[in-house]
Structure 1
Amino acid sequence: MGAQLTRSGPGNAELSIPIVDHLKQQHGFVHGGVISYLADNSITFAGGLALGGNALTSEFKINYLKPAVGSLLVARAHAKGVGKRQAVCQCEIYAVEDGEESLCAIAQGTVVSVSQ
C-alpha cells in the first residue's frame, strides 16, 4: 500500500500513506480498510516501542468520523497506558489536502508483548 514509518519515539509512532486511486472506494473516498490498516499498524508500532520489543495487536476499535479525501493519510499513535506485557494505545488518522489536516478517524487498541 505504500505506508511509511515517518516518525517514531518511545511509545509514539507516525505512519503515512499516499492517497492514490486504487485505495479509494466507489465514492472516491479512501476505503475504510486502508484507514483501519494504517491505524492498526501505527498502534502496534507505538505499543511495541513502549514495550521495548516485538509486539502484536490483541484488539482495536476504530471510529470513522468523516470521509478521507486529499493526497496523504497520516496516523499518529501514542501509548497511553503501559504495563509489563501490554500497552493501550490511541491513534488519530488525518487526511491531508493542500497542507491542511482533517481528522477522519480515531482508533484505540491493546498491544501485547510477544516473547519468542
Structure 2
Amino acid sequence: MTQPAPAADLPALDLAAARRTLDAQPFSRLLGARITAFGDGGATLELDVREELQQQNGHLHGGVVSYAADNAITFAAGTALGPAVLTGGFSIQYVRPARGRVLVARAEVVHSGRRQAVVRCDLVTVDEAGAERVCAVAQGTVLSAGAAQG
C-alpha cells in the first residue's frame, strides 16, 4: 500500500481546484452547492435555500444540512491530507430548524496526522438582512484514501 505523501510533498491545492472537485460531484451540482473559501485547514461551502430542498414544515431538510456538513468537513481535511480523502464518519447536532436564504457550512481542521484529520463544522443560515443563525454543529473524521483502503 502506498503511504500518503508528507504535507510538504502534497500537490498544490487552491480554491479553483476545490471548485473543480465540487463541480465534478453530480449531487453537489444538483443542490447548487459552491465552495467560497478553501485553504489553511478550512473550507466553507454554501448553498441557496430553495423550496425543493425543504421538508414539509418549510425548513431546510436535515439531509441537506448533513450533506453540507459532510462535504465541508471533507474539503477542510483535504487542505491538510491532500486531495484523495474520504469521510470516515461524522456526527451532527441540529440546534434549530434551518430557515433563511443561504446555508453556510464552515469547517476547520482541529487535528491532523499523516492518515486522518478531525474536523469541526459550524452550520449557519443567513437571512435576507445578512444575519447569521446557527442551525447545526458537526464533527467528523476524514481519512486519506490510502488509509481508507488499507
TM-score of the alignment, normalized to the shorter chain, above 0.5: yes
Match of 1:78 in 2: 108
Equivalent of 2:69, from 33, 36, 39?
Answer: 39
CA RMSD of aligned residues (A): 1.0
**Runs of 5+ consecutive residues of structure 2 not aligned to the other structure:** 1-30
Equivalent of 2:84, from 51, 54, 57?
Answer: 54
Give 3-state SS (helix, strand or coil) of 1:30's partner. Answer: coil
Bigger-Rg structure (1/2): 2
The code of the aligned residue for 1:78 comes to: E
Residue identity over aligned pairs, in percent, reads 51
Give 3-state SS (helix, strand or coil) of 1:106's partner. Answer: strand
1:113 aligns with 2:127: no
Which one has more relative contact order, counting CA pairs under 8 Å at least 6 apart? Answer: 1
C-alpha separation between the residues in 2 aligned to 1:53 and 1:36? 21
Runs of 4+ in 1 over 6 A off after TM superposition: none
C-alpha separation between the residues in 1 aligned to 2:94 and 2:69? 11
C-alpha separation between the residues in 2 aligned to 1:99 and 1:61? 27
Match of 2:44 in 1: 14
Give 3-state SS (helix, strand or coil) of 1:22's partner. Answer: helix
The code of the aligned residue for 1:106 comes to: V
C-alpha separation between the residues in 1 aligned to 2:92 and 2:57? 20
Equivalent of 1:30, from 60, 63, 72?
Answer: 60
Match of 1:99 in 2: 130
Cα deviation code 1:11-62 (max 9, x no counterpart): 1000000000000000000000000000000000001111123101000000
C-alpha separation between the residues in 2 aligned to 1:46 and 1:29? 26
**Runs of 5+ consecutive residues of structure 1 not aligned to the other structure:** none
